[in-house]
Structure 1
């Protein structure tokens, strides 16, 4: 429809054709209004019944809500209209009629439970609030990409069907690949490390990852979006600097470019983190968690941080913070240990503020130590030969991290469920749509 005018750009004195969805019909007796909605907003179409053709009035006022319509007519100023203008129609065409009985109300006047909304995601995203979340998500990814480019990174795309899992274990999704066993990739970790050993040196990727999580919680998914960074010739401290830069850029992008969406969602005081993220050692973190008294049992060295502990520490810190210097035994094989304290790893997590958002660290770039790390975690180095052999050909020191894309949006907007930030979530119960 090359002659289509968006509702937001219709100006008094224009003759326009607008196309969108029949959002609402208001019949006041001698006069009726059809509200047409498109991506840019809504516009009022006025029908003066006695002064207009009966068929035109009938078409425009008896159309089922959410039908796709096209309206041609003159735009007039009307201060009482929701947007200050209205269309006096010459013609109304119902392009695609909708069933009168809808599974949910896109106007938002009648609430629907999350499962119903996810079952009918197309209708759900006709709601302003749902649409706003995904417009913000798009800005988060755009801003992240821009920040990566400012860091001198090259965007890459790595395989999602692999012969071996990144970290092994029970979180692998096996598939049949031309008669062979293969897996859906848990992470681009190994491939992005190989790329820092190439001529690219510094890379990033934004793409799907797959984990057979047994957890069925408001913050776990089986298919998620990972925002990955890896760079040669940096250590874990510099990797944290880059991580902070990308996260802050995402907030800045949303603040600068999503004012309408934030207003729709009711965020009057959206804040961009303006101070450096504190860096707490693992030992400091468990001490501070224990000091809150929120846990029934005191944490000891080697414990992972439980959800309740993360929440307690997040409340105590009051914002984003890193946890550094994790015990070597609870970090993956590819995380480098400190040379002088091998029981400590260079691994770090970024919390935001009561949920893990980022996992990263400096990587082990020395071949012999890398192979030892595989064996220490019960993995067969030969199964990863495509990866390990490249470390025999000059692999530079390197570091990186991965952000959970949905978690970034979830924590940024304080969403109650991570599925709010996914178009079509995949979890233990949901495989369709």
Structure 2
């Protein structure tokens, strides 16, 4: 129901419209409107071309409400535009015999006002056609009356999408992606698409899925790192939102074998600059979904809270000191384990940047700090204990890159296609990669990333 105060006069009502609702056809044409006036009048307005007739196709019979009362049957129907109540009797009632919940039907009838609290209007059905009957018993209850565990829901994911909470998660995901693209486009970033079948590891390491590629050894990309760096040579600011792959045998609610990453790379930016871009993007996502996803928030029982600027920037050195004060035996230069980050997360529960990591803990392409070469110009974005993003300033001197590759026991000859771009005048650049699924869990307030992926892939799940 939209609240749009404006004067309006009709034969059946006049005054200032305070609320207006429309039901639209599958072609997005308005078929009926419900108007509420400031004098208390409530009027259903029919568009001239349908003259009060209702014709919607297809519609799903919602399991939460299919009931008989004497000779009348009451159905709750829904499609992408919303839900409505249908009253079926007489000859039309004979056709509804045998229809199962979650079936797909076509209805024609007359719109009328209703006394039902949950609906603005109802439809008196004249004609009903069953387009597809749902076979029972169903593997899960899409209405949610009976709780289903996540594995059963994932095995019947298409049916699970009829659960309004599940559907709301993916509507939120849609709007998060829309917000990300909007923010980065406004900041002059160009969206690119990089290869997902590659000939060498993007970042070194062994956590790669390998495959035979026409008689050659190939891998599924674990990130767009090398390609997005190369693109700054000509496009300056680029981003990609795509699936990537890591063969990590992790069995947590935070890890996936196939995940969606949002990556940026920008010429003439330092790590402080791209931290600002990331901070803006995250806050924009929260603002955008707060405004655009009111129904989804209501369905999920959440209230999106926009994080405050600026995110705290905490150095690795300070975190080490904090952990030592908590009794942890940890020396400078050691990586932070999950147990360490959980301690840190209790003290810093919101968004914060963990900056200036030891250079030896970072990939070969990360640049050192000139005044402290043992440290790097790098950061992680944390939400409490949860790492959301990693980024930094990149090396753009090819000789330094070769040296760093050797220091990390990587063969520079396997990176020759990447290194040649640095001989053509590679500008200084910086960037980051952000885990979309993890960001969504912070937004929605859930612990398992599988909830925000249609068909997740992990060490145990390859189908459906």
RMSD of equivalent CA atoms: 1.7
- 1:353–1:7 distance in 2 versus 1, CA, 3 Å: farther
Alignment of 1:432 with 2:463, yes or no, is yes
Matched with 2:300 is 265
Can you list the C-alpha shifts for 1:152-196, whole angstroms capped at 9, x where unaligned? Answer: 111111000000011222210001111111000000000000001
SS of 1:190's equivalent in the other structure is helix
Can you list the C-alpha shifts for 1:19-41, whole angstroms capped at 9, x where unaligned? Answer: 22111311122322011121232
SS of 2:128's equivalent in the other structure is strand
Distance, in Å, in 2 between the alignment partners of 1:262 and 1:311 is 28
Question: Higher strand fraction: Structure 1 or Structure 2?
Answer: 2
Distance, in Å, in 1 between the alignment partners of 2:26 and 2:186 is 38
Matched with 1:279 is 313
**Cα offset for 1:85?**
1.1
SS of 1:340's equivalent in the other structure is coil
Moved more, 202-211 or 56-65: 56-65
Q: TM-score, normalised by structure 2?
A: 0.88
SS of 1:229's equivalent in the other structure is strand
Can you list the C-alpha shifts for 1:277-296, whole angstroms capped at 9, x where unaligned? Answer: 00000011122233345xxx
**Cα offset for 1:229?**
0.7
Alignment match of 1:94 (pick from 123, 127, 130): 130
- 1:47–1:6 distance in 2 versus 1, CA, 3 Å: farther
Alignment of 1:226 with 2:256, yes or no, is no
Runs of at least 5 residues in structure 1 that lack an aligned partner in the other structure: none
Q: Paired residues, what number? A: 422
Matched with 1:362 is 393
Matched with 1:323 is 354
Distance, in Å, in 2 between the alignment partners of 1:117 and 1:193 is 40
- 1:432–1:170 distance in 2 versus 1, CA, 3 Å: same
Q: TM-score, normalised by structure 1?
A: 0.94
Distance, in Å, in 1 between the alignment partners of 2:27 and 2:455 is 31
**Cα offset for 1:7?**
12
Distance, in Å, in 2 between the alignment partners of 1:395 and 1:323 is 28
Distance, in Å, in 2 between the alignment partners of 1:379 and 1:235 is 26
- 1:228–1:5 distance in 2 versus 1, CA, 3 Å: closer
Can you list the C-alpha shifts for 1:343-387, whole angstroms capped at 9, x where unaligned? Answer: 101111000122000000000001111001111111111111110
- 1:70–1:342 distance in 2 versus 1, CA, 3 Å: same
Matches within 5 A, 1:208-227: 208-227=243-262
Matched with 1:64 is 100
Can you list the C-alpha shifts for 1:51-71, whole angstroms capped at 9, x where unaligned? Answer: x11xx2132253011111111
Matches within 5 A, 1:10-49: 10-11=32-33, 12=44, 14-18=52-56, 19-24=58-63, 25-48=66-89
Matched with 1:289 is 323
- 1:127–1:81 distance in 2 versus 1, CA, 3 Å: same
Matched with 1:204 is 239
Distance, in Å, in 2 between the alignment partners of 1:65 and 1:117 is 18
**Cα offset for 1:3?**
6.2
Paired residues of 1:279 and 1:321 also in contact (CA < 8 A)? yes
Runs of at least 5 residues in structure 2 that lack an aligned partner in the other structure: 1-23, 34-43, 47-51
